[in-house]
Amino acid sequence: MNSIISHPLYLAPVPLYAELYRSNIVLFDGCSPFVKQTYRNRAIIATENGTQNLTVPVVHNGQNTPMRDVRISEHGNWRHQHWNAIVSAYRKSPFFDYYADDFAHFYEERDGFLIDFNMRLHGTVCELLGLEREAGIITGREELEAIAATGTNDLRRIAEPKALTSIEEYTAHPYYQVFAQRHGFIPNLSIVDLLFNMGPEGLIQLRDSMRVK
């Protein structure tokens, strides 16, 4: 069985789900330290004015805080801002009305830990895409090292914005985007971009984006 290791990401970029398409199991690293300015708490969407970062504010105890212990900060009005940005970006997309209710409640409820928030969103995305895969969270360093030693496909680098272009097996095939006439096709956006624009056909896009080994 094919399995992959990933960090738990906030509305992860499309390449992660393309890799997941041909995998049976995904294991999320909950014990490695949280790193700022990564997709652990940031997603990128396409808007009328170009790309926009959506960043979840967090509270942690320093640079060595494990991902599993990072809490979401409820200061400010970020949930309202994120949802408004998503609505503004995708309300004219073909499938927004079909899926909006599946995501709206995430921005009304409160999750104490970032990993729980990310995992619940991931489950919803997989369900809507028909991409359900067995998933687990790695909570200990020894367990992580043992799994990594088995040759499991380690995709944790996808958490780093600059690393997406280094995935040799992935080719970003253009698909319909609401603002493509203005900005051209923008690859490697959050999975919600593919979902709202392509709906069930997003699964075909994920399949065709992976090169045959």
pLDDT at 212 exceeding the cut of 60: no
In this structure, is residue 43 part of a structural domain? yes
Instruction: Report residue 213's pLDDT band, with 50, 70 and 90 as the boundaries.
Output: very low
Residues 6+ apart with CB under 8 A from 118: 8, 9, 10, 40
Number of domains comprising the chain: 1
User: Tokens representing 136?
Assistant: 């687990």
Q: Which domain holds residue 76?
A: 3-208
pLDDT at 197 exceeding the cut of 50: yes
**Residues 57 and 72 sit within 8 Å (Cβ to Cβ):** yes
In this structure, is residue 195 part of a structural domain? yes
Distance CA 160, CA 165 (A): 10
Amino acid making up residue 206: L
Question: Looking at residue 165, what is its pLDDT?
Answer: 65
In this structure, is residue 54 part of a structural domain? yes
In this structure, is residue 213 part of a structural domain? no
Q: Which of the residue ranges 5-14, 34-43, 166-175 would you say has the lowest mean pLDDT?
A: 166-175
Q: What is the pLDDT of residues 49-78, one digit of tens each?
A: 999 999 999 998 777 899 999 999 988 899
Amino acid making up residue 115: I
In this structure, is residue 116 part of a structural domain? yes
Mean pLDDT of the chain: 90
Q: What is the pLDDT of residues 124-133, one digit of tens each?
A: 999 999 998 8
